[in-house]
Structure 1
Amino acid sequence: MSLRKIRLSKQSIIVSWLLSYISVLLVPIVISIILYTATWHVVVSEVNRANEALLQQMEQAIDNNLSGIERLSVEMALSKRLAGFINAPKPFSDSDYYEIISLAGDLRVYKMANDFIEEIYVYYKNSDTVVSTHEPINSRKLMENISGQESVNYDEWNVFFGKRYIQEYAPVTLSENGQPVKAVMYAKSILLDNPEQPGAVILFIIKETKLLENISPMNQTTVAVIDKNNQLIASHGPKTNYSEFLSYDRLAGKNGLLYGELSGEEIAVSYTTSKSSGWKYVSIMPSELFDEKMKYVKKLIYVSLTLSILIGGLVTFLFVKRNYNPLHSLIRNLSTRSGISFEEGSNEYGYLQAALNNTFAEKERIGQRLEQHRNAIRSHFLQGLLKGRLDQNVPVYESLAAHNINLTSPDFAVLLFQVDHYGKFMETGFVEPQKVRLVHFIIMNVAEEVAGSRHYAMAAEIDDMLACIINLQEGYETDDLTRIAEQVKQFVQDHFHIRLTIAVSGIHQELEGITGAYQDALAGLEYRFVMGSGEIIRYEDLPREGSVRESTSYYYPLPVEQQLINFVKTGDYEKSKALIDEVVEINESDASLSVPMAKCLMFDLISTMLKTIDEIGASDKREFLNRVNAVDRLTACETIKEMKIQIGDVLRQVCQSIQEERKQDNNLLSQKVIAYVREHYSSDNLNIAMIGEAFRLTPSYLSKQFKAQTGEALLEFINKTRIEKAKRLLSEEAGSIMEVARRVGYSDINTFNRVFKKYEGITPGKYKDIL
């Protein structure tokens, strides 16, 4: 039977392997797709961040200028001269005309106070007179001036100016050299002591170009301003017909990003909301700009996918072929020796199982009871060689000849096999004894075949383990035993997924030395506790008396234990786990660590954690210790690696318990700091370092905790507290500005002015004047 005759079928193991390798091949493809998606989101995020920066700059520039105009309107509304002309009736007298000229001069002065203002009008309802920086006009002429060439609905304007109180913005259109110019109007009523009087309205006209003169949007990007009434206040850029897409209600939230279609073109819209006016500042960008940034990434992804498929396919084919050859060789040998042909399309493992079952049945039929007794006797004889319990009445060499054992060398060694996992046979329908016998049969045959290629090998079961006695031939090398163990371990792992721990003895002389070799292997297998399962343990590598550090001790000094206690007390799981791993690694790397000392080390580590619980005085200590049950969990472990896992789990629970208990205490920190600031705000020495010293905390840790618990920086909170106290003192006219600054903790008047203007937008002196 050759490899060419085996055809692919749904039941063949080759199909299963191909599917497995193809699944692995899909991993880089899926990762490439995920990377592409992640890159797309990064590009979108970066572009959106740039748009947000532009919008925030736009918001800050416009809001600052509009705030100046609003403050100017407050000052004008309080002007006695402007308010005094409200009751002037028509027809005007000469003194009234003189007053109009004086008012026009005042308006020119107000206009010069802010470069943002294009024109100022004051509309007096009682006399239907509009005073401006130029000649006086009536309301109808005013409507024409601020409505450009468009038709004017005079009744609508009368409704607007007929409101009892006006303070709002509205888009208007001016006429400049016969051309319409977009602008924004800010209207504010002059308050009267008698609300029954008609009153007056101050109008500020701001050109759209002036409003957006400091805004420089990116190429193909449009910026726009929309007020709460869904009116377009101003816009700049190539897009002009976006009213069909944008509305104030659609731009929900303070800021955001949304996509849509405008005039058949895909667009991305970023927006933010002004805190002072509530206007929406909008940036409109074509979606194709995202695609341009992603073209290069797409090419890389396509190349990666192509290479993954081509190279992965080739590697899949080579590995399937390489892995199938040993299995095919095994099946061919079984087919030849057992006489059971391998049918095309059947499963190789199923055939192997059937062939082995048939082989056992055939051996039972042919050998019958005599063969069974012979095997039992041979196995008993080999066990006697291993344990040194031979029948003294029968010469040993006669027993060797009776069992067809031909020894040619005085050098002996023993390999001991411990099955840690039965691999694929865990999935079969065999009952437990059948599974154990089958696995033992495979291991013994593989061991005898591998060792028999150069030496003489005899395998036998002994005390639930498998032993292989090797009679080393002349010219053997020192690493032959290790090589044999590695080949047996690798073969059963690759083909049956059986995991073995193998102990390799030293080399002993004569038949009497087999017992000593067996004891060496037992000692090595016992050291499986330290090295873990699935390893090859050589007796030569085990701890020896007289080494640098005797096996009666281990590395775990008091400073390291104290350091671990400190880490655990703080609930720092990462540092505690790293320190434990370091201690275990140092001890594992030292070949002189004995098995009892390794167990003592692990119990010592768990004891440290439990002592820490006692030291910190946890409220639910007894309930926690009963729940963790650390000692029983360690006792149930078979290897030091399993103990490490259990210790790590106990450590995680201990650190989590400590963190939860201390979390309640940490939440009170921010409240204490707030109370401290409000009590000591007047001290010019108040700063983060001073507060940290008062609470015995480092400034950086205090700032971080305060920010995490309140969402506000500690220095910001100190400044805001001081400014609020300063505003109260200024409103009470409690002394000069210098005195107020000193009373709230600022020894430098310039620092006080700068901080006050940062939070209030005006200087303390201006604030006091307005009050």
Structure 2
Amino acid sequence: MFRKRKEVKFVFHKHLLLFLITILIPTLLLLSFQVYRIQHDARGQLENASHTYLDRSSRNLDILLDQMNQMVLQISLSPSVLDLLKHPFDQTAYDYAQTKEQLRSWTVINPLFHSLYLDILQNRKVLTTNEGIYDEADFYDKAFLQGLNTVSTSKSSSWIGLRSLPNEDGRGILTFARSVPPVQSTPLGVLVLNVQKDVFYNTWMNLQKEQAGPMILLDPEGRMISGPIQGLDAEKIADSLQAGTVKSDRRTIGDEDYLVSAYKLPASGFVIIQLSPFAAYDKQVAAAFKQAALILLVVTAAGVGVSYYFASMLYTPWKRLADRLKGFVFTGESRDPYTFVNYAIHDLLAVIRKNEPIVRYQLVHELLHDHRVESSDITIRFREAGIQFVYPNFVVLVMIDESLDHQGKIANQLLYLYSLAEDTFGLGIPSAGTILDRQKIGFIVNVEYEEMDEFQMARLEDVCRSIQQLARDRIDATVSFCISSVYPLDQLHEGFEQVKRMIAYKAFMETDIYFSKPMDENVHYQYPAVYQKLIMNAILSTDRDAAESYITEMFDRYLENSVYPYPKLLQTILVLMSHVISSLVQEGFDIGPLMNEIDLLQLQHCQNRDELRQLLVSQTDHVILYLETLRRRDDDYGAIVHQAISFIENHYAENISISDVASSLGISASYLSRLFKAEVGKRPQEYLTEYRLKISKTLLKDHRKTLQQIIEQIGYNDVHTYIRSFKKFEGTTPGEYRKRSMDHS
């Protein structure tokens, strides 16, 4: 009991290892990939949302800055300001006061404005909205004005930035400075608009419809307009940015992680920094990890349980098998049942390989069927199988057992023929073979020359004649041979395809040992249209002797000593039989039952021309017998049914019903329907419908007639009813039938 438990545990470890390799490790890899994908997607969603918000915020900031610039431009273009700039020495104290009040009105009506003043360059005066007029030398903000050299000397130049007013105790002011007037080639002054930074920031923030996280705004010089955030060096981030670029990074600020995205506006140089909390991202990733861990736990538990279950379940049969094999296999040492059975199987396989050379059969099969076989590899494998080829040239030889008997005899006979041929080839010609199917055996034969000359053909023919003689003498079997052209080893699949084409045309061959030879495809081919017509007329007149005579005459003229290629001859037979079938359809016969008797695929199974001719005679006899059956059935109809059919075929173009047919015969409609069904096999209404559709198919071939004209000629009142009936019986619509008929014509 203890030993059994120990062996089960040993097998359990093997199953568990197999589970780890085949199930657990791939599952772990898939779960890791899934978690990584969720992380990547969540990070991408967070970054996309942050970038979208940055883009919207930057557009709002551009709008606000444009409005500020428009205000500055509008103030600079007011008549009083322009007149003061152009003629400062002609202005009175009253004029200065009026201009000052006008400028002051701008600051009063707009809560954004803190103060506004105008630096007049010609007389070095500064007009302010709050204090009045100053000499530039005495102005409290003269240092700022003197620093605006570029603005005061360049046309339409401007400056925007954050600074502190000297008389405001260091309060942050966002200043917009612009050279004025813009219409003047040389600036006459500088208009300075001061905005409280908090008011500007709050105005910009109010433009945002939603807020994903804290927002930081810096002026073009990298100075903070918004309040600072502890732990974030916003100025350093702004210095590292290029205009028009977005930079994102994960940072820990305080106790929380944020996605910090920064963007520098290309036009104004302002920098926007947006902080998106990572809390939602971390929550989504944590849920993914939790789900993956749960799946992994379930798979692991299931794998351990299944492994132990299989180890316990499989131990008994393996132990029983090992006990039975101990009398036949000696291992030399004590082994567990699984190791013992595995050793026994390998030992038995080694014995099989030594006593039955199956490998070479498989190699030949691969060569004949697989074009991807490498010649160098297959040569080594043949050498390992004990086959040594002398020359690099080969032909494919297929031996066909012509003896048709029950399946068991064919199988045993084919094995004997294979052994017989293999022994005969082994007397002097290197070869290797395989059984292809229940009737054919394939050999690859090593030949000396690259072309099939008369010497090689004679040598192979002698071997084939010897095999034929032995087959007749020993088992009364008849065999034939088809031999391909010469090919290298790696192209023998092409030779096999060539032989298969030869076998398909075997009925046209004159000998039982056939070598491949080129056929003249350019020979002018004349289809036997005259015989086709004669044979068809004989069939329709049910003259068996005439049909057989015409078929024999056609064979003597077209197939005996024919110069036509075999594909053309086979095509002639197929076209002839197809024409017979299609002619019956055009004559209005129902060929459904006949198709069970006619099988054109039997042509490929004919062994010679006599069998092919007999097959055609037999097929035409089936057709004639079918026509005779139909005509006898028509003759067997009673007088009432004959009169009903005659009435239907004479009045089908009228709006008749079954009651009309019955009234013309003086019987009831129900009696006529039962009698008609019993003798014809269908009801009168169905016969009328099929007859009308048959007439309409002829009318549809005339493309000049419309559907309306056709239905009027065959007794239909409604086009839609006609189309439904046509599709029900013919499987297609009248339009599609007409198009197909026109295409064939």
TM bucket (normalised to shorter chain) is: 0.3 to 0.5
Q: Taking structure 1 as the reference length, what is the TM-score of the superposition?
A: 0.40
Structure number, greater radius of gyration? 2
Q: Taking structure 2 as the reference length, what is the TM-score of the superposition?
A: 0.41
